[in-house]
Amino acid sequence: MLEARLLAEYFDVMTAADGYTSLAICERNQVDLILLDIMIPGIDGFEVCERLKSSQKTAHIPVVMVTALDQPSGRVRGRSAGR
């Protein structure tokens, strides 16, 4: 749904089906913003975010974490993953 909306607004969108692919896309391409679901196959969104923020090449990219999780602990973990 987000992809369709962004494409309709003429944004270039790259999608990944799992955490490992998302990391590879970010390493190989110039990315301005990452919309990251927490619950994805492979490694979860928290781990993807932690890896992105620990890499000098991708640490500057803003990450917006999207989730259906409603527990406060998930929000806290997401914030700490992005530091």
Residue with tokens 């749904």: 1
Long-range contacts of 21-25 (CB under 8 A, 24+ apart): 22/48, 23/48, 23/51, 23/52
82: helix, strand or coil:
coil
Tokens of 41: 């196959």
The parent domain of residue 24 ranges over: 2-81
**Number of folded domains in the chain?**
1
**Prediction pTM value:** 0.81
Report the CATH number at residue 49: 3.40.50.2300
Question: pLDDT tens across 25-75, in order?
Answer: 999 999 999 999 988 999 999 999 999 999 999 999 999 988 776 666 655
The answer to whether residues 50 and 21 touch, using CB atoms and an 8 Å cutoff, is no
Enumerate the H helices of 1-83 as residue ranges: 2-8, 19-28, 45-54, 72-81
